[in-house]
Amino acid sequence: MEAAEAVGAGRGIEEEDVLDLLSRLVDKSLVVAEADGSGEELRYRMLEPVRQYAHEKLEEDGEAGQVRRRHTAWFLGLAEEAEPHFTGYRQLVWLERLEREHDNLRAAMRRLLEEGEIQTAVRLAWAMWFLWRAHGYQGEGYRYTKEALEKGSALPTGVRAKALCVGSLMAYGLESTERMKQLSEESIALFRRTEERSGLALALGCAGVATLQQGDTERATALLEECLKLYRETGNRWGASAALSYLGLVPLGRGDHAQAARYFEESLEISREIGDRLSGYVSLYSLALSVRARGDRGRAAQLYVEGLKLAVEMGDKANAAYCLEGLAGLIAERGEPERAARLFGASEALLEAAGAPRYAQAQARTLYESAVEALRSRLGDEAFGGAWAEGRAMTLEQAVEYALKPPPTTPGLAVPPAHPAGLSAREVEVLKLVAKGLTNAQVAQELFISPHTVSRHLNSIYGKLGFSSRAGATRFAAEHGLL
């Protein structure tokens, strides 16, 4: 209603008249009133033929341009009102509100770009980048900022610096790392000529991440440390938390897990104090990498789960996928290869849908590649491909439920197998029956599974034990008290 009053008033219609007029249109079924996603207010919409007719009448009366300008002004104001709240306790409320208005915000952005109001388009992009990043609209945001930069060659210094910075943020995972770095470095150079310190800090962070991905840790450290210093000087705790979460990747990459954990834990502490989920789940994921490298799989699982829940709550499919990958790796180590392969497949599909990159960190890349290769080897190409495809077909909600489902014989997510040679509980069951002389068909009947599944389990058992026959497997079972 507030938007309808601001946009619909004019030409003899006062804001206080809009409710009565709108109610009459609802009574005549020309406008539909329904509760919004929050259940707190009514939203009004038109069927497409009615909207087209109304648009034609506006064009005929010469009012369309004026109404579009009021529409743009109102939604630009809404986005700029929301922007300061994106990094604190009310971030979900405001992100959800802008998500509900996303089509209106898109329409406002398109009008600004089409009509050459580039400075205002950059204002809107600067207010919207957090939503674009958190909700997987990076491709859309990149297209808008790219067009703004192409059309705005004569933009004022500070405005162009903001457009370049948003472009760099959106380029992550869509364009080359070099392109992200180029945009951020040009933004830094322009911001240094202004007094926009928060903008400079954000651009420094973008450049630091890009430089880190290129392997130049010395330069990346300098950029991220300057970024952190600026955020602390300006009292921006969200920015400090984000900078710390990326600074920790430097010692993580060189194997100094204790130092890396200190950065990630400080980042996590700040994020919890200010109620920011984004820097929270980024630091949780990285901290999980650190403690996992030190052998604490139980805590790593807890951190991945906490990060996964925050990312899902935020609507961030990309970071939810990263946490799912981490859990998949632990589940594979625990001895559930099919389940792990499904989760890796689900993660891949989520990252593709979000337009996000895999391998945000070198250590994550190494873990991912080794885990996937081990799963393929253990399951065989056919079974691996089938499980992977099943995972790709999962929705985010299904993948999360599947990942958090406790294993049948252990209460925790990352308890290492308590069986010899890394055998899973099911593989031990199969081995015991085989050692008693049962055929594959008899084992299948006993365990209520298919003979094909028994065969796959046996292949995995042989691979882990280093034998290629039932006789060798039976001898191993006898030696380890499994009969």
Q: Per-residue pLDDT tens for 243-282?
A: 999 999 999 888 888 899 899 999 999 998 998 888 899 9
- What pLDDT is recorded for position 410? 46
The structural domains of the chain, ordered by start, are: 1-62 (no CATH), 256-416 (1.25.40.10), 421-479 (1.10.10.10)
Phi first, then psi: what are they for 335, rounded to 5°? 105, 30
- Per DSSP, what are the bridge partners of residue 33? 44
- The average confidence (pLDDT) of the chain is 87
Residues 192 and 93: their CA atoms lie apart, in Å, by: 34
Residues 315 and 127: their CA atoms lie apart, in Å, by: 18
The token pair that represents 283 in the structure block: 């630091």
What HEC string does the chain produce? Answer: CHHHHHHHCECCECHHHHHHHHHHHHHCCCCEEEECCCCCCEEEECCHHHHHHHHHHHHHCCCHHHHHHHHHHHHHHHHHHHHHHHHCCCHHHHHHHHHHCHHHHHHHHHHHHHCCCHHHHHHHHHHHHHHHHHCCCHHHHHHHHHHHHHHCCCCCHHHHHHHHHHHHHHHCCCCCHHHHHHHHHHHHHHHCCCCCHHHHHHHHHHHHHHHHHCCCHHHHHHHHHHHHHHHHHCCCHHHHHHHHHHHCHHHHHCCCHHHHHHHHHHHHHHHHHHCCCHHHHHHHHHHHHHHHHCCCHHHHHHHHHHHHHHHHHHCCHHHHHHHHHHHHHHHHHHCCHHHHHHHHHHHHHHHHHHCCCCCCCHHHHHHHHHHHHHHHHHHCHHHHHHHHHHHHCCCHHHHHHHHHCCCCCCCCCCCCCCCHHHCCHHHHHHHHHHHCCCCHHHHHHHHCCCHHHHHHHHHHHHHHHCCCCHHHHHHHHHHCCCC
Query: pLDDT tens digit string along 170-208?
Result: 998 778 889 999 999 999 999 999 988 999 999 999 999
Please tell me which residue, 42 or 393, carries the higher pLDDT value: 393
Query: pLDDT tens digit string along 45-104?
Result: 888 999 899 889 988 988 888 889 999 999 999 999 999 999 888 888 899 899 999 999
Contact (CB, 8 A) for 239 and 202: yes
Residues 122 and 180: their CA atoms lie apart, in Å, by: 18
Residues 98 and 173: their CA atoms lie apart, in Å, by: 23
Q: How far apart are the first and last CA of the chain?
A: 73
- What pLDDT is recorded for position 413? 45
Residues sharing a CB contact under 8 Å with residue 332, sequence separation 6 or more, in sequence order: 340, 341, 371, 374, 375
Query: pLDDT tens digit string along 321-357?
Result: 999 999 999 999 888 999 999 999 999 998 888 766 5
- What pLDDT is recorded for position 417? 44
Residues 26 and 15: their CA atoms lie apart, in Å, by: 17
Query: pLDDT tens digit string along 210-225?
Result: 999 888 999 999 999 9
Tell me: pLDDT of 366 over 50. Answer: yes
- What pLDDT is recorded for position 416? 43
